[in-house]
Amino acid sequence: MKNFKSIALALVVVLTTLSVTAQTKKVDASKSSINWTGKKVTGEHEGTINLKDGALVFKGKTLVGGTFNVDMTSIIATDLKAGQGKEKLEGHLKADDFFGTDKFATANLVFKKIVAKAPNIYVVTGDLTIKGITKPVTFDLTTTANTATTNVKIDRTKYDIKYGSGSFFDSLGDKAINDNFDLAIILKF
């Protein structure tokens, strides 16, 4: 009888361990933020763009997946005021030579590979789709019980956004725009 109890207890432990299932944590888009910075020879511009929806997937406390959609039509400049070129810059960012938001209203990111770097810090490689073009992007993501944060550098030219790029056009002088733009992301769930 004692042997039977030991076997039953071992079976319960094994089944409990195997039953650790993935838990999807939906991101609260209204409490999350995406701030962007684009630099050029003569300075930089900053702004925000809204997260449409997203989720992180955990197995226990370990991050195992994620997917996000960004509303590209929501892009705004926060470093300019009305009448100072704000409307012109925002219109240009939404135009076809930048993000083409009439045709491509949503960008998305799907996590493909996640490697633990330290407790609650992961190296994430995901497929980022902008303007219908999907390319891999890698970044560090830090998680807490209800927040995830990252800073991501994106090379816009990989997504056919070449306007003002010194990599593609000569004689731009002080009108050249950096190929990379930075995103500072805070996700709340």
Q: What residues make up the domain containing 117?
A: 21-188
Domain count, the chain: 1
Task: Look at residue 8 in the predicted model and tell me its pLDDT.
Answer: 43
At 129-164, the pLDDT tens digits run 999 999 999 999 999 999 999 999 999 999 988 765
User: Please, which pLDDT band fits residue 187 given cuts at 50, 70 and 90?
Assistant: very high
Percent residues over pLDDT 90 in the chain? 70
Tokens of 29: 């888009």
- Look at residue 3 and tell me if it is in a domain: no
pLDDT higher than 90, residue 87: yes
- Look at residue 166 and tell me if it is in a domain: yes
- Look at residue 4 and tell me if it is in a domain: no
Task: Look at residue 35 in the predicted model and tell me its pLDDT.
Answer: 98
Task: Look at residue 20 in the predicted model and tell me its pLDDT.
Answer: 63
Burial 22-44 (b: 16+ CB within 10 A, else e): eeebebebeebbbebbbbeeeee
pLDDT higher than 60, residue 36: yes
- Look at residue 116 and tell me if it is in a domain: yes
Q: What value does the mean pLDDT of the chain take?
A: 86
Task: Look at residue 46 in the predicted model and tell me its pLDDT.
Answer: 97
Tokens of 155: 């090379």
- Look at residue 63 and tell me if it is in a domain: yes
- Look at residue 6 and tell me if it is in a domain: no
- Look at residue 178 and tell me if it is in a domain: yes
pLDDT higher than 70, residue 15: no
Least Cα distance to 38 among 84, 111, 91, 98 occurs for 98
CATH of the domain at 167: 2.40.128.110
Predicted model pTM: 0.82
- Look at residue 46 and tell me if it is in a domain: yes
